[in-house]
Amino acid sequence: MNKQELQNLYKSLITLVIVDDRSLSSQGADFDFKTTDKLILRVGKRQEFKATFETVLKKQKVPFESKLISGSSFQSTVIDFTKYFKELKPLTVMYKEGGGANSDKPAKVKTAWQERGAAYIFEQALVKNVDYDKKIKAAMKKLKTNPVMLTKKVLPEDVLLETFKDDLPKLRQLFEVKGNSGFPYIDWLNSFYFSQKVLLAKYSSSTFQRFERDGGFMEYITKLINVKFGISQKDTWNPADVWAVRGTQQAIEKYIDDKMKKIKDYKESSQKFEGAKLDNYIRAGTLYLNSILIDLLTGIDPKVVGISLKLTDSGAHIEEVNFDKVKKNIKENKALIDTIADPFIVDPKNDFICNFEITSGKTSKGTFTQDVKVSAEDSHTGDRYNFQIKANSSESTTGSNLKFELTIQGKGAARGGKVPVELVVTLVNKIQRGAFENDYKKYPRTSKEFLAELTSTDKNYKKIFEKVKDTVKDIGVTYAEFTANVTAAFNMGGAIATNATCKLMGLEFLYFLLTIKENQMRGMITDMAYLAQKKNIRAYDTFGPFIKIS
């Protein structure tokens, strides 16, 4: 059996379990296969669902084991279906809330929630001196938990809830959780515990007075870079989610403002300079601001520290990013990564995926996946850098540009971040100006526009398709199926049509990569990997300094 047939068989067997109990079937369950034999069931109330689900398995005499698996704080059910089909491997069923008929929360945590939650817990640990190590040991003793669990990546759910019980009212408020008991985002409690632990280890002697995510220094620095450099999105310069601060806001602002007086505001500099001269002036000013922030956060007792957050576990560590002094950037540039001289390994036959196949059950609408994937490997570390390229807003019915989002395998599969889209275009233009544009208005948005461009001199999608098909790992269809499937997606309209446009944009991006020199392709993908993490490289060196907990 192929992958899809196996998944359909597993789904049928799981459905037989669910329909055997009214409380299970009334909850509903959304199926999300991560691999052929690893399934996420998205349900309304996972604790209740799992308990009843395993009761039915016992009733049906289906062997199973309930256990924690890597990367999850909630036990999974590993089911042995070989009594029905000998060729089946054990199926790992994980449970997440956010699906099903009775769900009262979204499946995905809003970024603002986890950032405010982290700021609150950091302040508890580093300002109010709450000892979470002591709390977690007390919780384990109370619950009679085996001490070996402290060595696991993910701590038991009951231990985490007991450890953070005094903080849950505030966390429920910050995460907009309904009700006055429990907390559904256990993975973030686990992350908060290990994040505060490494932060405390590094800054135990610092006398921070507050951690700010809204207002305060965050508001000040966001306005400053807009006024001085015309940067409207703070995260394209510095991805810090939370700022640790010591000293009054007035004193810190005065310190920075006094030093930045010699840097003209963007409104004035853009009138005095243009083109390359303006770019160079902005670069020099940004490097100068970065050096001021480095001075603030590398002193004996830091006054301001920008912190970038990722969902993490017991492997949490702190990385100092972009701490090179401005003089090194300007005079030598030697401390910065030279991605052209040492690019990642890229093999399109294994590392590029752009599948246009419509597989039954893949989506409720029966269309192809919207994303395009590009991977690369760092030969020094063995880490893999995986880009998912898809619509910035997959629910939009009016159109969307692409986003380029990075995941790093070897770093706990942590999100590496998004490449600032304007920098993707800048990298393209350095190689071949205008070869790729991240502007959905310049691509087909209807079946009529698509069919008109199949063999046009402008796009010629037949030529693009054939080049990509012969070079990448997986495109899944013939040219005739490609045209039929894209046409069908456009005819569905709404968000499906938006995603069809974005899939064509991704196809053209792959075509660009495949038609330039190999060293250029590898260099560009390597650049993107560092830019997504907001790490300075020789090609682009004005990201701000911050520490990253991942």
Backbone angles phi, psi at 464, to 5 degrees: -60, -45
Beta carbons within 8 Å of 541's beta carbon, 6+ residues apart: 283, 287, 329, 333, 336
Question: What token pair was written down for 418?
Answer: 């998004």
- CA triplet 325, 327, 330: central angle to 5 degrees? 115
Task: Look at residue 364 in the predicted model and tell me its pLDDT.
Answer: 41
Residues facing 409 on adjacent strands: 384
Rg over alpha carbons for the chain, rounded to the nearest Å, is 26
Task: Look at residue 373 in the predicted model and tell me its pLDDT.
Answer: 94
Helix (H), strand (E), coil (C) string for 17-35:
HHCCCHHHHHHCCEEEEEE
Backbone angles phi, psi at 417, to 5 degrees: 115, 180
Contact call for residues 283 and 510 (beta carbons, < 8 A): no
DSSP string, 236-289: GT---SEEEE-S-HHHHHHHHHHHHTTSPPHHHHHHH--HHHHHHHHHHHHHHH
Task: Look at residue 300 in the predicted model and tell me its pLDDT.
Answer: 65
> How far is the C-alpha of 104 from the C-alpha of 177, rounded, in Å?
9
Q: Which burial class, exposed, middle or buried, applies to 230 when counting CB atoms under 10 A from its CB (0-12, 13-18, 19+)?
A: middle
DSSP string, 55-90: HHHHHTT--EEEE--TT-SS-EEEE--TTT-TTPPP
Phi-psi group of 413: left, alpha or beta (phi > 0 → left; psi -120 to 50 → alpha; rest → beta): left
- CA triplet 58, 59, 63: central angle to 5 degrees? 35
What 3-state DSSP class applies to 320? strand
> How far is the C-alpha of 51 from the C-alpha of 43, rounded, in Å?
13
Backbone angles phi, psi at 65, to 5 degrees: -135, 135
Helical spans, DSSP H, in 143-246: 157-163, 168-174, 186-203, 216-229
What 3-state DSSP class applies to 446? coil
Task: Look at residue 325 in the predicted model and tell me its pLDDT.
Answer: 59
Question: What token pair was written down for 279?
Answer: 């770019």
Residues facing 244 on adjacent strands: 211, 305
Nearest alpha-carbon partner for 298 in 279, 266, 324: 324
Contact call for residues 72 and 19 (beta carbons, < 8 A): no
The identity of residue 73, as a single letter, is S
Angle of the 132-142 helix axis to the 186-203 helix axis, nearest 10 = 140
Nearest alpha-carbon partner for 273 in 285, 291, 288, 261: 285
Return the residue matching tokens 């760092």.
Answer: 378
Q: Can you give the pLDDT of all 550 residues of the chain as single tens digits?
A: 778 778 878 887 888 788 777 677 666 677 888 888 899 988 877 888 888 899 989 988 899 998 888 767 678 999 998 877 877 889 999 988 765 444 444 446 788 999 999 999 999 999 999 999 999 999 999 988 888 888 788 888 889 999 999 999 999 999 988 878 778 888 899 999 999 999 999 988 778 999 999 999 999 999 999 999 999 989 999 999 999 999 999 999 999 999 999 899 999 999 999 888 998 899 889 989 998 999 888 766 678 999 999 888 888 999 989 886 554 554 554 455 667 677 899 999 999 999 998 865 444 445 788 899 999 998 888 889 999 999 998 888 899 999 999 988 865 445 678 898 888 998 999 899 889 999 999 999 999 999 888 877 677 888 999 999 989 988 989 999 999 999 989 998 888 899 999 999 999 999 999 999 999 999 999 999 999 988 887 778 889 999 999 8
> How far is the C-alpha of 438 from the C-alpha of 444, rounded, in Å?
13
8-state DSSP, 537: B
Task: Look at residue 101 in the predicted model and tell me its pLDDT.
Answer: 44
8-state DSSP, 330: I
8-state DSSP, 177: -
Task: Look at residue 362 in the predicted model and tell me its pLDDT.
Answer: 43
In 10 A of CB 256, how many CB atoms? 17
